[in-house]
Amino acid sequence: MKKLIALFMGAAMVFSLAACSGGNPSSPDTTNPSETSESSASSTAPDTSEPGSTETTAGTEGGSTLVVYFSATGNTEEAATYIAEITGGDLFELEPAQPYTDEDLNYGNDDSRVSREHEDESLRDVELVADTVDNWDSYDTVFIGYPIWWGIAAWPVDDFVEANDFTGKTVIPFCTSASSGLGESGELLAEMAGTGDWQEGIRFRSGVSEADVQEWLDGLNLS
């Protein structure tokens, strides 16, 4: 009897040890709950992140205001950007097919590109990368900006003015200059265009502020 009890208890101990050894308790848990939940959420949640800043391309939005500009040193571009931001207009940069270098813009050098173009009007026919705008007919108001060169509008804008029909559009010139005023630059461009309702423009100093542009636009009563 004692032998039977001993055999029974031995069998029970063997069974118990076998049960405890089942599975793999020493295997590490490599799952990171926080990573799992974030991964699941990111795979299903909509992308609500704000896109990066993008420059509006003229013609893609079909807005009623267009801001066209040629900028030699960045001053006119700054003013044009303020105008576009305040009015909600589209920007269109006039880019010469052969860009002006710093040497080209050396007004003190009689042999520089800009000096030679000033002396010889036949050289002022500056080809642009693009002189027409998509959805041109959708624009009611067109701002045209440029630096002042020798008292007139920088001639790279001439190609754009001559290439487009401004009929039915309000055209507002603006210029940037360290010292020279607007002069007759707007009137000369209006004569060149032959169409459009050309308004009196404005000259902005170099380093114009957004507040200056805002004040000027408020006085135009465009809305």
**Percent of the chain clearing pLDDT 90 (strictly above):** 67
Residues paired with residue 9 on neighbouring β-strands, in sequence order: none
Give the C-alpha separation, 66 to 91, whole Å.
6
Q: Within 13 Å, how many C-alpha atoms sit on residue 22's CB side?
A: 6
pLDDT above 50: residue 186? yes
**Which pLDDT belongs to residue 25?**
33
**Which pLDDT belongs to residue 178?**
85
How would residue 93 be classed by pLDDT, with cut points 50, 70 and 90? very high
In this prediction, residues 158-184 reach a mean pLDDT of 95
CB-based contact 166:196 (threshold 8 Å): yes
In this prediction, residues 79-92 reach a mean pLDDT of 97
Superfamily of domain 65-220: Flavodoxin domain (3.40.50.360)
pLDDT above 50: residue 40? no
How would residue 206 be classed by pLDDT, with cut points 50, 70 and 90? confident
**Which pLDDT belongs to residue 22?**
41
Coil, strand or helix at 51: coil
| Structure token pair of residue 156 | 């790279």
Q: What angle do CA 143, 149, 153 make, to 5 degrees?
A: 30
Domain boundaries, the chain: 65-220
Q: How far is CA 53 from CA 50, 56, 66, 75, 221, in A?
A: 9, 9, 19, 21, 29
Give the C-alpha separation, 133 to 131, whole Å.
7
**Which pLDDT belongs to residue 27?**
31
Coil, strand or helix at 29: coil
Q: Within 13 Å, how many C-alpha atoms sit on residue 144's CB side?
A: 32
pLDDT above 70: residue 138? yes
User: What's the pTM?
Assistant: 0.72
Tell me how far apart the terminal alpha carbons of the chain are, to the nearest angstrom.
Answer: 111
pLDDT above 70: residue 56? no
Give residues with Cβ within 8 angstroms of 158, minimum separation 6. 124, 125, 126, 189, 192
pLDDT digits (tens, 9 = 90+) for 140-163: 999 999 999 999 999 999 999 999
